[in-house]
Amino acid sequence: MKKHLNYIGGKWVPAAAEDGTFEDTNPSDTRELIGRFPESAAEDVDSAVKAARAAYASWRLTPPPKRGDIILKAGFLLQERKEELSRLMTREMGKILKEARGDVQEAVDMALYISGEGRRLFGKTTTSELKNKAVMSIRMPVGVCGLITPWNFPVAIPSWKAFPALICGNTLVFKPSEDSPACAEKFVEILAEAGLPPGVINLVHGSTEAGAALVRHADVNVISFTGSSQVGREVAEQCGRRLKRCSLELGGKNAQIVMEDADIELALEGALWGAFGTTGQRCTATSRIFIQKRIYEKFRREFVRRAQKIKIGSGLKPSVEMGPLVNGAQLRRVHHYVETAVSEGARLECGGARAKGTGLSHGYFYQPTVFTHVQPKMTLFREEAFGPVVCLMSVKNLDEAIHLTNDSCYGLSSSIYTKDVNRAMRAIRDIEAGITYVNGPTIGAEVHMPFGGVKNTGNGHREAGDSGLEIFSEWKSVYIDYSGRLQKAQIDTE
């Protein structure tokens, strides 16, 4: 079996403690070992940061269009190896193959989009209050960026962070989830092959210790973290003590509203995809569905019927519609939420247990689970299960649906199905979320649009789009006085 290593300063190297490793297994069949990866510590993170700092001096001076050329080549390589990467992703973290292909395609799209920003890192020129003086603002790189990414989008999310950071002239230390290290390794290999100079991107495998060391490191200028709100608070606290830039993309408790005038077939398809796509392991997954009472029973019956028919199994099989949860801890977490919902009085309509059957006994498979009779005070209404669990609730009207949607400490994604443009516009205006879809599910972000949320979903920053450049660049104001004499702003203008 291949020996998996860290990538520091352009070389594949073992962790300082060579005997420390962790296993990466297939969640569909835990008998399959994907590989053993180094369990890195603070010493390894320090080496990676030093390599990134050394490379920064020259990378920041590389013309942005040249940086874009390298990112564009990486995008072409990702496209060329899309099938290989997708199959690895399905084996490593479980999502079905067509979703894995979509994950890689998102990284391809981000490369194509961000590479063009090398010629569009626009600043502003404006007027001066004084004669013979020009003023402008320009983007400058921040320095060394620490990227901490989750396992559910193991190629797409790294691309959302790495490509904008690179185009701005920063160097990187990348700490991926220990549930998807093989995909991270391939991502870095592709960037190196595309021509990224040694030290510009550094990969450090490991768990909490490595991530914490990266956050605390004095020579890391910005942390970009995607994960749970609980861990995000700890990251923000550590960065705040050090006055370090910090971008957080955290949890969600996303709602889909279905009004009585909606195309019910379309709304059903969207709800099923939003709730059970990626086995519910998306921060944008649909976990609450508010249905106008006139169509509630019809929607409930059909939704439950279709949920029960979803085919579960290895995502490598073309007929499978939903893969496993990523690991045993996640399976136990999801089942705990199910048991809590039952104990609090919610009605279990279907699912609620580990899936059994041919080919499922060695994986972390869980049944698509639907609850009704859920009240706003219940745990399932308020907390993110991050699995294939959804609750259906009847509402009188749009006002009640929006009120319940907003009755959450999260505010990432939202959705409304209606044929009434006035209702749609009210939902867009009044829902407290970073994303609102009209006649579409709560999942399906596009790379040229800002991605992020409000409340406990993050700390106000956005990824993707041109907004994704903000956390990775500094604004510098420039004043050019060609008058040949001392001019005193605000004084000589009197």
Q: Is 124 part of a structural domain of the chain?
A: yes
Same domain, 206 and 260: no
**pLDDT at 54 (0 to 100):** 98
Domain encompassing residue 28: 6-250+458-477
Same domain, 221 and 295: no
260 is catalytic: no
Distance CA 369, CA 254 (A): 16
Same domain, 237 and 297: no
- Would you place residue 63 in the very low, low, confident or very high pLDDT band (cuts 50, 70, 90)? very high
Please state, for a pLDDT cut of 70, what percent of the chain lies above it: 100
**Residues 183, 246, 283, 391: which is the catalytic one?**
283
Q: Is 285 part of a structural domain of the chain?
A: yes
Domains: count for the chain: 2
* Pair 349, 371: CB distance under 8 Å: yes
Mean pLDDT of 88-93: 98
Same domain, 126 and 261: no
Same domain, 277 and 220: no
Its pTM surpasses 0.95: yes
Q: Is 484 part of a structural domain of the chain?
A: no
Residue 31, pLDDT above cutoff 80: yes
Residue 494, pLDDT above cutoff 90: no
Domain boundary among 438, 467, 486: 438
How would you classify the pairing of strands 413-417 and 245-249? unpaired
Q: Is 47 part of a structural domain of the chain?
A: yes
Mean pLDDT, rounded, of the chain: 97
pLDDT per residue as tens digits for the range 250-307: 999 999 999 999 999 999 999 999 999 999 999 999 999 999 999 999 999 999 999 9
Mean pLDDT of 187-199: 98
* Pair 27, 94: CB distance under 8 Å: yes
**pLDDT at 396 (0 to 100):** 98
For 205, residues 6+ apart whose C-beta sits below 8 A from its C-beta are 4, 6, 15, 22, 37, 38, 39, 40, 175, 176, 178, 181, 184
Distance CA 357, CA 228 (A): 32
Same domain, 172 and 300: no
Question: What is each CA distance from 126 to 74, 123, 227, 418, in whole angstroms?
Answer: 36, 10, 40, 45
**pLDDT at 493 (0 to 100):** 67
249 is catalytic: yes
Q: Is 148 part of a structural domain of the chain?
A: yes
Same domain, 352 and 242: no
Cα 384 to chain centroid distance, Å, stands at: 15
CATH number at residue 66: 3.40.605.10
CATH number at residue 430: 3.40.309.10
**pLDDT at 207 (0 to 100):** 94
**pLDDT at 216 (0 to 100):** 98
Phi, psi of 139 (to 5 degrees): -85, 140
How would you classify the pairing of strands 11-13 and 124-126? unpaired
Helix, strand and coil content of the chain, in percent to the nearest 5, comes to 40, 25, 40
Residue 213, pLDDT above cutoff 80: yes
Q: Is 452 part of a structural domain of the chain?
A: no
Distance CA 201, CA 208 (A): 20
Same domain, 197 and 74: yes
Q: Which of 116, 122, 105, 104 is nearest to 72 (CA)?
A: 116
Q: Is 352 part of a structural domain of the chain?
A: yes
For 77-188, list the strands marked E by DSSP.
124-126, 133-141, 144-148, 171-175
**Residues 92, 106, 178, 249: which is the catalytic one?**
249
Q: Is 446 part of a structural domain of the chain?
A: no
Same domain, 244 and 297: no
Same domain, 229 and 98: yes
Residue 394, pLDDT above cutoff 70: yes
Q: Which of 9, 10, 18, 50 is nearest to 37 (CA)?
A: 18
* Pair 96, 318: CB distance under 8 Å: no
Same domain, 206 and 323: no
Same domain, 240 and 163: yes
